[in-house]
Chains A and B, each alone.
Chain A
Amino acid sequence: MRRLIQSLSAIAMNSFVFLNPREGVTLYQGKLKSVCVPILNCYSCPLAWGSCPIGTVQQSLKMMRIPYFVFGFFAFIGAFVGRWSCGNICPFGFLQEMLYKIKTAKIRIKRIFRLNKYLVLLLTLSLPLLIHQPVFCKFLCPAGTIEASIAQIAMNPALLQSIGIIFYLKALLAIMFVAGSITMKRFFCVLFCPIGAIYGLFNRISLLQIKYDEKKCVRCGLCNRVCPMDINIYENQTDYDCIRCFECVNVCPYNALKKSTLFSKTATQEKDSSPI
């Protein structure tokens, strides 16, 4: 079911050229571009209908303007669903999960390195103010390279004359991203994604939660094995890396994990209120 939602959302957010196959059209410029999508999706992609929130934040801060609406948008999505968007509707996360299916040697990312995305977030928010450059989009974002650069250059070969060292640097990073995604679970989401970093901060207080029943859990580790972010959900149900994909909930044979909300009763409360 999640795969279907991921596929449909990828198509829904990126189908402009397919639906409008007019010659020479390389970018959607309609009113839907006023809307930010809640995930990483380059707005320079010829297929994109909506705007990328982190791209908007970068461009806005570069101009010394605070993007109140996008910050509110992040807080609103985060407060309701935490990182659910990452696990269910992000085409880039979906791509990484598909790449990880390629059979090869796999590497686990150590917990300490996972904090790197908060360093990326800090630089993403501060450097545009200091050096007036959209640093994340310009030097790091592989979504821009994979979704937009290749497609734009293919559709407009005149751009080939303008490519320089930054393009080659980004192309190299995109290749590293693909290699990393094949060998590590959601390599970019775990280590670099600033949007995931923002939503992750809300996992503890978001409306959407996972309920854990310690009495039912036998710590078989099945939930960890299926987790696309490689976390132990039975240790911390509000982990900042949990993308609320609910693979762990679906796979648990003991029903120790359940979908829940912040306002529903915890397992302990349920036991206390049950009739003797």
Chain B
Amino acid sequence: MNRKKLFLIFLFAASVLLIVGLLKGDIAMIYNFGRFICFDCIGIS
């Protein structure tokens, strides 16, 4: 398939995923993960 068409398809898919994520409250989820120390990440768990 033409690369330009693929670019547009992926851009559309990305937009859909971003909107679905916003509606499902992913921003709050990212915030909840990010605001605490991840003990798995620092090797203490």
Contact = CB atoms under 8 A, between A and B. Distances in A.
A4 B41 CA distance: 29
- Interface residues of A: mostly helix, strand, loop or mixed? helix
A1 to B, nearest CB: 27
Contact of B3 (A60, A67, A262): A262
Interface residues of B, number: 36
Contacts of A17: none
Interface in A146-181: 148-149, 152-153, 159, 162-164, 166-167, 169-171
A167 B43 CA distance: 4
B33 A59 contact: yes
Interface string A27-55: 11101011110000011100000111001
- Interface residues of B: mostly helix, strand, loop or mixed? helix
Contacts of A67: 21, 26, 29
B9 to A, nearest CB: 9
User: Chain A interface residue count: which class?
Assistant: 35 or more
Contact of B33 (A43, A141, A153, A162): A43
Given A67-B29, A76-B14, A79-B14, A144 B41 contact: yes
A222 B34 CA distance: 42
B44 to A, nearest CB: 5
Interface of A: 26-29, 31, 33-36, 42-44, 50-52, 55-56, 59-60, 65, 67-73, 75-76, 78-80, 133-134, 137-138, 141, 144-145, 148-149, 152-153, 159, 162-164, 166-167, 169-171, 202, 204-207, 262-263
Interface of B: 3-4, 6-7, 10-11, 13-22, 24, 26-31, 33-45
26 contacts: A27-B36, A33-B31, A33-B35, A34-B27, A34-B28, A34-B31, A43-B38, A44-B38, A55-B33, A56-B29, A56-B34, A68-B20, A68-B26, A69-B20, A69-B30, A73-B14, A75-B13, A75-B17, A76-B11, A79-B11, A148-B37, A162-B39, A164-B44, A166-B45, A167-B43, A207-B7
